[in-house]
Amino acid sequence: MAATDKQGVKTETPTQAPKQEAGRPRKSAKLPTESSVESESIVTAHIDTNYADKESLKPDGLTTNAKSLDAEGESSYEQKINVDVEKENPSFSKKDDKAKDENATDNKAGSTSVAGKSTSKAVETHTIHLVDGEKGGAGKSFLSRAFIEYCQYKGLDFAIVDADTSNQDILKIYPGCIEAFFSDDEKQQKEADQIFELALKKSVLVNLPAQVYKKVTEWIDNNGLIELGKEKSIRFVKWFVCTGGHDSVEFFVESQQHFENRLTHVFVRNKGLCDEWSYVSNLDKYKDVQKKYSFVVMDFPKLAHWEKNMVDRLQIKFESACTHPDFGVVSQQKVKNFLKGAFKAFEGTGLVQ
């Protein structure tokens, strides 16, 4: 329809919308709707890595569903890692599944990650953990017990060897523990050999007696076990429990100098026997080995005197003491706090796998 404006110019008034060209859909502005936002992939993951706050160490008591040292499959510790995924993007789900499978394979093979690249080991590495200290009363058995319960808590497959024939508290408390000893008698030296044989299948924790440094050292050196361990993917870690005394440090220095970096040392500062370690840190011999060699320093927490004596007298696990009727509420909490501190210390070394 034509119309004339005041200036006499004719204009056309369209009676219908212009036709759209074929093959070119009309574009129109569209506000984002709830459905369009949801179409994008939103992945939220939360990993709880603070084992000190794990459910099994909550104030209402330790759970007893931790797997035994011989158990197979995933550990209850790993099952406590919660990953919540709100949305899944189908466009990359297959790619991510493949990456997860590859990472899982790398982890089982004992892979290491460098600059984002994963390198898998062909054979799984096992560890022989020697809990040493040379002096009697240094706390070797006490540390071994906390070590065992940490492994149980993590669901790790470990063999336990009690080589302290004079005081077999480890053997009495933890089922499945194996007895062994170190001897100068050639006919009995095979007793110690079973430790290395066990390590071919799984990692081993060995609770050593006092004054056995020479025998253990000769067992390792005379049989070339460090070199043989490299061939069989077995490594040694010595957890040297120190009292804070000068002679205790001397024994550590002697062991570190003898093995150098061929054997990993952990200098365990037993806070239950000494709470001031500046004296040790300033010793010339200690500072010398600290400069020359690589070793790990770990602080082992103190358990209150009464609770420690009760645990020893009753011959029970720390975990059991957390709910034992002979322990009051406050005493149970003290044991729980001790376990949390011990577990954190072991975790921090990165040597228990």
User: What CATH number is given to the structural domain containing 278?
Assistant: 3.40.50.300
How many Å from the N-terminal Cα to the C-terminal Cα in the chain? Answer: 87
Q: How many domains does the chain have?
A: 1
232 inside domain:
yes
Residue 154 lies in a domain: yes
**What is the Cα gyration radius of the chain?**
31
Of 128, 129, 125, 127, whose CA–CA distance to 241 is shortest?
A: 129
Residue 198: domain span: 126-302+342-349
Residue 334 within a domain: no
- Model pLDDT, residue 96: 46
Residue 158 domain flag:
yes
DSSP 128-165: EEEEE-SSTTSSHHHHHHHHHHHHHHHT--EEEEE--T
pLDDT tens across the length of the chain (353 residues) = 444 444 444 444 444 544 444 444 444 444 444 444 344 433 333 334 344 444 444 334 454 434 444 444 334 333 333 333 233 333 333 444 444 454 444 444 444 444 444 444 456 899 999 999 988 899 999 999 999 999 999 999 999 999 998 888 899 999 999 999 998 787 788 889 999 999 999 999 999 999 999 999 999 999 999 999 999 999 999 999 999 999 999 999 999 999 999 999 999 999 999 999 999 999 999 999 999 999 999 999 999 999 999 999 999 999 999 999 999 999 999 999 999 999 999 999 999 98
- Is position 82 within any domain? no
Which tokens hold the place of 196?
């290395």
**Cβ–Cβ contacts within 10 Å for residue 319, how many?**
21
Supply the pLDDT for residue 31.
45
Burial 98-119 (b: 16+ CB within 10 A, else e): eeeeeeeebeeebbeeeeeeee
pLDDT at position 123 is 67
Tell me if 145 is assigned to some domain.
Answer: yes
User: pTM of the full predicted structure?
Assistant: 0.68
Is 104 a domain residue? no
Looking at residue 38, its amino acid is E
- Residue pointed to by tokens 């809990």: 131
Taking alpha carbons only, the member of 264, 137, 312 closest to residue 210 is 137
Residue 265 lies in a domain: yes
Determine the angle formed by the axes of helices 329-349 and 305-314, rounding to 10 degrees: 90
